Amino acid sequence: MQGKSPSRASAPTAAVFLSYASEDAQAAQRICAALQAAGIEVWFDQSELRGGDAWDQKIRREIHDCALFIPVISAHSDARREGYFRREWRLAVERTGDMSERAPFLLPVVIDETVESRADVPERFRAVQWTRLPGGETPAAFVERVKRLRSPESPGVSEAALSVSGALGRGAQPARGLRQRTLTVYAVSAALLLVVLAYFGLERAERAKPGSQLAASIAVLPLANESGDASQQYFSDGISEDLIGALSHLPGLKVIGRTSAFQFRDSKEDSRSIGAKLGVAHLLEGSVRRAGDMVRVSAELIDTSDGSTQWSERYDRPYKDLFALQHQITQAVAGELKVKLLAGEQADARSDRPPSGSLEAYNAWQQGNFYHLRLSEAGFRKAIAYYIQATQIDPGYAGAWSSLSIEWVNLSNYLSGAAAQDAYAKARAAADRALALAPNLAQAHRARAALLLNGDFDWRGAESEARRSLELAPNDGSAKVQLGVVLATFGENGRCVELIQQAIANDPLRADWYRDLADAFYALDRLDEAERAIRRVIELQPAGQTNYQMLTAIEIERGDADAALTAAQHEPPGPLHDLAVAAALQIGKDQRAADAAVKTVVGKYADDYPYSIAGIFSLRNDANATFEWLERAWTNRDTEITYLLSDPLTLKFKDDPRFAAFCHKVGLPAPGELRQQT
């Protein structure tokens, strides 16, 4: 067995120190094996014979010398009030006190459903991004991340900025509901500092390739933060997002969305490969350096067909004049675009700036966006704090109020009972304020739609708001997906597929959108397409939740009991795993196991997952129990009610008079009353 090195010179190395509670040894071994297979040295103690001064000094030396410290967090570590691993954690935290803020060192991983905000860990751990590796299963993307971070040549990145690529499944997963849809809305900043750079460069490239179908297409890669302060990562990311947002408002120009473009942060791939994967003719790359009152932006436009630089420029601007400069540049660009790149089109007016012109409020809003994109409970809580700060600085800041409303809805997915209702109440107040301040702000209508759908079960109201949002921002992929999800609530899954596919065309690596697409294909009984979509999600988010549950549902519809059970067993440990296994067992031959599984999930998850339990009883052909659990789902305000008219398991009883009555009770049309898709 591989153990930690018994004796070493006290000098920094590229080794990784893996710290864990003894109960988690099996999961830690999986992580260790994956890292070692990639040639990474791992200091991983498998001995229970811990003790003695020599052994203690060896551990202290290794923590002092290692390149990265990976604490393994779980319910087991939470349950242990004492243990040597806690001493290791304390020593690692102490070492960070002597390290540069730019130096990556702590890389916490969670191997079960332990919630970050409630975990019993040193507070320093909460300042960095956590990675979920269910059961210790370690995807290649995590291994590559570790290889980059431990390299002495790796550019400095603060622990606060550490993140794992979207390929690791950092997307927020709702705490309740097997097939919970999330209506996360991505805020887009107002800064147009870089627009002139891309537009003038694109105009040249457009003339060079007049017959190219992809000529008017671009991806803005994340601009590198060269401020010498990793806590400014949000600022450089914010400028990148600003440019994406500004460009996406120009009809006729294909602009790749933030999620897909940002997957190529620090990528070693060449421009031709990235262009092929994203389907664009141009890349905009560069860097941002903010020092005191000055901002320096360097950018270059790359032709993806041959990797040549079409144009490059560097700009130095006073930070305090940022908004005035943006206005000047935007006006100049709009004038150029009318006669050059996109004839007759003008840049849309943006509503993201605080009306007071306060850079402090704008800065707080950008920091909120940065934490929002961590897509975790802890991230949502931090984002809420920054959005509140932005609204306190400028009470008339509609964009910040919209973001705050959205974030309260996102956080509610991790809450229940009175806490969830309180979150919805705060979301409602924030959305009302945003719409009162800016009735034509698309993001404010998206916020209201999310609240009405998930919090109020006001289906028609949600549809009206989602349609208004898309009307105001017709090129916004999030608005398209949101409307599609709302229409699916009415059984209009064909239209849902169309809208999501339109959004994916401009953001081809959005795992959450493929997840919604899989739901819609499943509802339409297009099972092969549903499987392709969910396997795309698994490819992009190998550690994500609900993915194998969806695959389980597909195999159940195919009648393949063995494949369904295999898929269910791959769902990460927790309630969704148990519910998926219970569902799969209902179509198998082992009746005793099926009965036992039902008893287990009813005993453990009756309050939080009543809709899923209704589906399990549907598989048992027990109509009475199915309707009893549907009633319980309505009483408990289970958000999975939104699947009622798209779910084959509940639609099995669509001819039962009780089904139509239940539809009317919750405010949905009965199957025979469904309107034509719009």
For residue range 400-409, what is the model confidence (pLDDT) as tens digits?
Answer: 999 999 999 9
With a cut of 70, list the residues of the chain below it in pLDDT: 1-13, 45-52, 101-102, 116-117, 127, 151-215, 246-252, 311-315, 320-352, 375, 674-678
Placement of tokens 């260790």 in the chain: 32
User: In Å, what is the CA distance from 195 to each residue of 62, 584, 634, 670?
Assistant: 49, 52, 49, 49
What are residue 300's phi and psi, to 5 degrees? -145, 145
- Report the pLDDT value the prediction gives residue 321, as an integer from 0 to 100: 63
- Report the pLDDT value the prediction gives residue 144, as an integer from 0 to 100: 79
- Report the pLDDT value the prediction gives residue 322, as an integer from 0 to 100: 56
CA distance 625 to 42: 52
- Report the pLDDT value the prediction gives residue 12, as an integer from 0 to 100: 54
Nearest by Cα to 467 from 490, 451, 484: 484
CA distance 155 to 400: 32
User: In Å, what is the CA distance from 601 to each residue of 331, 430, 614, 616?
Assistant: 60, 37, 11, 10
For residues 515 and 525, the answer to whether their CB atoms sit within 8 Å is no
Q: Which two tokens stand for residue 411?
A: 């956080």
CA distance 309 to 143: 32
Q: Which two tokens stand for residue 522?
A: 């499943």
Q: Which long-range contacts (CB under 8 A, 24 or more apart) does 19-23 make?
A: 19/69, 19/70, 19/71, 19/72, 19/85, 19/88, 19/89, 19/92, 20/71, 20/72, 20/77, 20/85, 21/72, 21/74, 21/76, 21/77, 21/80, 21/83, 21/85, 22/48, 22/83, 23/74, 23/76, 23/80
Domains of the chain in start order, with CATH, are 16-164 (3.40.50.10140), 195-348 (3.40.50.10610)
Nearest by Cα to 415 from 571, 616, 601, 637: 637
Q: Which two tokens stand for residue 540?
A: 């992009």
Nearest by Cα to 534 from 526, 523, 241, 519: 519
Q: What is the pLDDT of residues 344-385, one digit of tens each?
A: 443 344 456 788 888 889 889 988 888 887 767 888 899 999
For residues 427 and 451, the answer to whether their CB atoms sit within 8 Å is yes
Q: What is the pLDDT of residues 186-238, one digit of tens each?
A: 333 333 333 333 333 334 333 333 333 356 778 888 888 887 777 777 777 87
CA distance 443 to 431: 10
* Helical (H) or strand (E) element with 283: strand 282-291
Could you tell me whether strands 109-110 and 131-132 are parallel, antiparallel, or unpaired per DSSP bridges?
parallel
Contacts of 200 (CB under 8 A, 6+ apart): 311, 336
CA distance 308 to 303: 5
- Sign of dihedral through CA atoms 336, 339, 343, 344? positive
- Sign of dihedral through CA atoms 318, 320, 326, 328? negative
